[in-house]
Structure 1
Amino acid sequence: MSVSDRVSVRSELSASSQIPIDDTSDFGSRKPSAVTAGLISLTQNLGLSWFGKRLTYLFRRIGLLMMGECADVTLFGARLRIYPHNNVSEKRVLFATQLFDPAEREALKALAAPGAVFLDIGANVGLYSISVGEAFVAHADTRILAVEPHPYIYRRLAFNAALNPTYNITAVEAGIADHEGTLSLTLHGDNLGETRMVQADITGSLDNPADAIAADKVVEVPVISLMQLVDAQGLKRIDGMKVDVEGFEEKVMLPFFDIAPDALLPRVIIIENNVRHWDVDIVAVAATRGYASHRISKNNLMLSRDPS
C-alpha cells in the first residue's frame, strides 16, 4: 500500500468512525478550561489511599463531562495532547497520573544511563515513552523507540513525540509480529487502546464464522519482527522494553528470545500478564535466557535479567 493510499484509508476510516485527531493546531490551542484544569490538578494529588481513589474517580467523572475532545497538558515534565474520551490509558493518566502503572514506570526509569535504549512495543499515544523519557533526558545519547500500528493512535503518538524533541523518541508506525508483511488490526471506538492484532480475515473469508470480524472494524497494517526492528534501527543494546499488545505477546517475544544474542537482551521487560491465554509460557521461555519473573502489579509482569 502506497503512502497516498494509506492516507486515503486513514481519512475514510477517521471520518466514518468519528475518532478525533488534531495533529495540526499549535500546542496550547486545546488548553482545558480553568475549572477542568482545577479538577485535573485535584485528582492528580489525591494520593493512593482507598478514599483518595474513590474521590479521584468521582471528580474524574465530573471532569470528563465538562471537557472537550482533547486537552493540552503537561505530564511527566512533557507537553502532551490527551484524548480521554475514547482511550482508557489517556483518561487514566490525565486524571490520575499517580495511579498510572507507577511501579512499572519506576522500574523502567531506573534504567536511565548514558546511551540507554527503551523499546515501547504497543506504545499507544506514548505515555510510557514520555514517562521514561523524563528520566532518560538527563543522560547523553539515550534512545526511545515507540512502536504503534493503529493509524489513529500513531498520529497522536507522533504528535506527542514531536512536542518533546529532547526526549529523543522515534515513533514507528508498525506492528511487531513473527514475520514481515501485513496483519489485520481490530478497531475499537470506545477504547482505542484495546485494539489487537488478529490472524483471521474479515467477514466472509473465514473457515469458522464465529471468528469473523466485520469489515469496517479492521484495518490492514504493516508488521515486522522485533529483530527486524532492531536491525533497521541499528540497535546494539536494549536496556528496557514494554510489551502491551493485547494478547499478541507470543508473536512478539518468542522469536526474539529464540535468536537474540545475549548482548541485546533487555535488563527489564514489562509485559502484560496473559499467561492463561498463551499457548506457550513466555515466562518459562524467558527463564531459559536468564530472566527472573516478578508480579509487579495486578496486570503486568516484570522480567528482569542480570547482564553479568
Structure 2
Amino acid sequence: MDYRDGVVRRVAWEVPHTAGRALGADAARRLARVVGSAEGLTEAGVTRVAHRISPRLADQNPHLVKIPPQWATTDIAVRRQGLQWRLDLRDNLQAVLYYAGRYEPAVSRFLRAELRPGDVVLDVGANIGLHSLGAAKQLKDLGGGRVIAFEPAEDSLDKLRAAAERNDLTDLITLVPAALGERTHQAALHADPRYDPADSGVRSLQADGEVVQDVPVIRLDDWVREHSLERLDVIKLDVEGSETAALGGATRTLVRLQPRAVLVEDKRPDLRRRLHAVLDELGYRSTGTSFDHNTLFRPDRRGDTNVTRRHSLR
C-alpha cells in the first residue's frame, strides 16, 4: 500500500527533522516520539509509523516523512502500554513501540478480549515480551494465570527477563530459551540481510543473513510432557516462517489440551496453504479473522474423535 502524508502530517513530522539539524538526534527523537504517539492512536497510524522506520519499505513509500536510523539509540527507557521498557531502537519492533506507543495493536486488543482468569498462555517467538508481558499484566489484574514464553535469542530473552522483573511479573512468566520445531536439534538463528543485525524481530531459522546465534530447537510435545503441563488456553505463534515446523512438534499438545484460541502469523502466501492444512489436520479451523497478519484458529469440535484417533499413536 502506498502511504502518503497530507499537509498536516508532513509539517508535524518535519518538526523533529528541523530540531535534529539544530539540536541533534536526542531532540529529534524526543519530538518524533510526541508526533508518533499522536499518530499511533489509530491502528493505521501505527502502520504508518512502522513504514516511516523500516529501511526495506522506505522506497515503497516515498511520500512519507521517514524516521532515519541516525536517531536510533541502543538503550532508552520508556513507559508503554502500562509497562516500563528499556528499548534498542535499532530493532524495528522496539522502535515502533517507542515512537507510536503501540506495536501490533490488534493482537493486543485480541488478547485483552480473550484472556480469562487462570488462563495459561503460550507465546512462541516472544521476542522482548511485548505480548507476553501484556498478557501477564492482564492475568495479574484478573487474579492469576500463567504465560509461557519461548524465545531462543539471548539478547531478546535478556530484555524480556529484565522487563518482567522491572514490572513485577516474574511470578506469572515462565521463560524458555529455545525455538520450537518438529525435532530436537541445534540450528543457526540468522539475521535478515535487509535489516540491521540488531533487528531481532526479523531474525529466523530460514533467513540468509549473518548468524546471530546457535540456538536449541525442541518439540513442544516434549517440553509439555517433561513439565507436566495440564492446561493450555491460548497460543500465539510468530516465528518468521517456521510456524508449520513448530506445529509439527506440538500435535499431541494441541489434541490433548485443545487450547481455545491459536493465533498464528499468516502473512506469507507461499506458506499459507500448508499452514492451514496442518491446523486443519489437528482439528482447528480459521475463523476468517486476522489481527496484524495473524490468523485466529478455533477448535472444530465436530472433528474431536477423528483428530484424537489420527494423533493418538504419534
Cα distance in 1 for residues equivalent to 2:115 and 2:109: 10
1:173 aligns with 2:177: yes
Decide whether aligned partners of structure 1 residues 81 and 60 sit closer, same or farther in structure 2, where only a CA change above 3 A counts.
Answer: farther
Q: Secondary structure at the match of 1:138?
A: helix
State the Cα deviation string for residues 175-225 of structure 1 (Å, max 9, x = none): 111122312211341522211124xxxxxxxxxxxx9x68x6253211211
State the Cα deviation string for residues 212-239 of structure 1 (Å, max 9, x = none): x68x625321121111222344321111
**Structure 1 length as normaliser, TM-score?**
0.72
In the TM superposition, residue 134 of structure 1 has moved relative to its aligned partner by 3.0
2:222 corresponding residue in structure 1: 228
1:186 corresponding residue in structure 2: 190
What residue identity is the alignment partner of 1:278?
L
Higher mean C-alpha displacement, 49-58 vs 125-134 = 49-58
Q: Secondary structure at the match of 1:269?
A: strand
Decide whether aligned partners of structure 1 residues 70 and 307 sit closer, same or farther in structure 2, where only a CA change above 3 A counts.
Answer: farther
Q: Secondary structure at the match of 1:287?
A: helix
In the TM superposition, residue 244 of structure 1 has moved relative to its aligned partner by 1.2
In the TM superposition, residue 73 of structure 1 has moved relative to its aligned partner by 1.1
Relative CO higher for 1 or 2, CA cutoff 8 Å, sep ≥ 6? 1
Cα distance in 2 for residues equivalent to 1:149 and 1:55: 27
What residue identity is the alignment partner of 1:239?
D
1:104 corresponding residue in structure 2: 107
Cα distance in 1 for residues equivalent to 2:148 and 2:43: 34
* Matched-pair identity in %: 24
In the TM superposition, residue 271 of structure 1 has moved relative to its aligned partner by 1.1
Query: Gapped runs of 5+ residues in structure 1?
Result: 1-31, 199-210
1:69 corresponding residue in structure 2: 74
Query: 1:76–1:134: 8 Å Cα contact kept in structure 2?
Result: no
**Structure 2 length as normaliser, TM-score?**
0.71
State the Cα deviation string for residues 34-89 of structure 1 (Å, max 9, x = none): 87445424422323286896588478717x6445322111112111111111x111
Query: Gapped runs of 5+ residues in structure 2?
Result: 1-24, 53-63, 303-314
Higher mean C-alpha displacement, 161-170 vs 75-84 = 161-170
2:205 corresponding residue in structure 1: 197
Cα distance in 2 for residues equivalent to 1:43 and 1:282: 35
1:129 aligns with 2:132: yes
1:48 corresponding residue in structure 2: 42
How many residues are paired up?
Answer: 259
Q: 1:279-298 counterparts in 2 under 5 A? A: 281-293=274-286, 294-297=288-291
2:249 corresponding residue in structure 1: 255
Query: 2:120–2:147: 8 Å Cα contact kept in structure 1?
Result: yes
Q: Secondary structure at the match of 1:125?
A: coil
1:270 aligns with 2:230: no
Which residue, out of 89, 95, 98, partners 2:99?
95
Which residue, out of 162, 167, 170, partners 1:164?
167
Decide whether aligned partners of structure 1 residues 54 and 187 sit closer, same or farther in structure 2, where only a CA change above 3 A counts.
Answer: closer
Cα distance in 1 for residues equivalent to 2:212 and 2:109: 35
2:9 corresponding residue in structure 1: none
Q: 1:139-158 counterparts in 2 under 5 A? A: 139-158=142-161
In the TM superposition, residue 306 of structure 1 has moved relative to its aligned partner by 6.8
